Chain A
Amino acid sequence: MIEVQGLTKRYGQRTAIDQLTFHAQKGEIVGFLGPNGAGKTTTMRILTGYMPPSEGAGRVAGFDLLTESLEVRKRVGYLPENVPLYPEMTVIQYLDFVAELRQIAGRQDRVDEVMELVRIDHRAESYIGNLSKGLRQRVGLAQALLHKPEVLIMDEPMDGFDPQEQMEVKKLIRQIGKEQTVMLSTHILAHAQELCDRVIIINGGRIVAEDTPERLSAQIAGGGRIQVLVDGDGAGLAEALRALPGVTHVRALSESRFEVETAPGTDGRAKIAQTVVNGGWPLLELHRDKATLEQVFIELTREDQAEAGDAAAKEG
Chain B
Amino acid sequence: MRNTWTMAKREFAHYFVSPAAYVVAFVYLVILGIIFNINLNSSIFFGGPPQVVQWVFGPFVTLMLFLSPGITMRVLAEEQRTGTMELLLTAPLREWELVLGKWLAAFAFTAVIVFLSGLYFLITNAFTSPGLDRGAILAAYVGFLLMCAAFLAIGVFTSSLFASQIAAFFATMGVSIVLWLVGALFQNQTGAWADVINYIDLSSHYYNNFFSGVIDLADMVYFLSATALFLFLTTRVVESRRWR
Q: Which residues of A contact B (CB under 8 A)?
A: 11, 45, 48-52, 70, 73-74, 76, 78, 80, 82-86, 88, 97-98, 100-103, 143
Partner of B89, one of A50, A74, A76, A85: A50
Interface size on B, as a range, is 20 to 34
A76 B90 Cβ-Cβ under 8 A: yes
Q: Which residues of B contact A52 (CB under 8 A)?
A: 242-243
* A-facing residues in B91-145 (Cβ within 8 Å): 91-94
Residue of B nearest to A49 (CB): B90
Say how far A16's CB is from chain B's closest CB, in angstroms.
12
Residue of B nearest to A11 (CB): B244
Say how far A253's CB is from chain B's closest CB, in angstroms.
44
Q: Which residues of A contact B82 (CB under 8 A)?
A: 82, 84-85
Say how far A242's CB is from chain B's closest CB, in angstroms.
54
B2 A50 Cβ-Cβ under 8 A: no
B243 A97 Cβ-Cβ under 8 A: no
A88 B92 Cβ-Cβ under 8 A: no
A101 B91 Cβ-Cβ under 8 A: yes
Q: A51-B241, A97-B6 are in contact. Are A80 and B86 (CB under 8 A)?
A: yes
B83 A82 Cβ-Cβ under 8 A: yes
Q: Which residues of B contact A (CB under 8 A)?
A: 2-3, 6-7, 10, 14, 17-18, 82-94, 241-244
Taken together as a complex, chains A and B put the C-alpha atoms of A101 and B89 apart, in Å, by 11
Say how far B208's CB is from chain A's closest CB, in angstroms.
42
A45, A84, A100, most chain B CB atoms within 10 A? A84
B242 A97 Cβ-Cβ under 8 A: no
B84 A86 Cβ-Cβ under 8 A: yes
Q: A84-B84, A101-B3, A101-B6 are in contact. Are A78 and B93 (CB under 8 A)?
A: no
Say how far A36's CB is from chain B's closest CB, in angstroms.
17
Q: Which residues of B contact A86 (CB under 8 A)?
A: 14, 84
Taken together as a complex, chains A and B put the C-alpha atoms of A97 and B88 apart, in Å, by 11
Residue of B nearest to A47 (CB): B90
Say how far B125's CB is from chain A's closest CB, in angstroms.
39
Q: Which residues of A contact B84 (CB under 8 A)?
A: 84-86
Q: Which residues of A contact B90 (CB under 8 A)?
A: 48-50, 73, 76, 78, 80
Q: A100-B6, A101-B3, A101-B6 are in contact. Are A80 and B87 (CB under 8 A)?
A: yes
B91 A102 Cβ-Cβ under 8 A: yes
7 other A-B residue contacts (CB within 8 Å) besides A51-B243, A80-B86, A101-B93: A50-B242, A51-B242, A70-B94, A80-B83, A85-B84, A101-B88, A103-B2
B83 A73 Cβ-Cβ under 8 A: no
Q: Which residues of B contact A74 (CB under 8 A)?
A: 92
Partner of B86, one of A50, A76, A97, A102: A50
13 contacts between A and B (CB under 8 A): A50-B90, A51-B241, A78-B90, A82-B86, A83-B83, A84-B85, A84-B87, A86-B84, A97-B6, A101-B7, A101-B88, A101-B91, A103-B92
B92 A102 Cβ-Cβ under 8 A: yes
B10 A97 Cβ-Cβ under 8 A: yes
Q: Which residues of B contact A48 (CB under 8 A)?
A: 90
A88 B242 Cβ-Cβ under 8 A: no
Q: Which residues of B contact A45 (CB under 8 A)?
A: 86
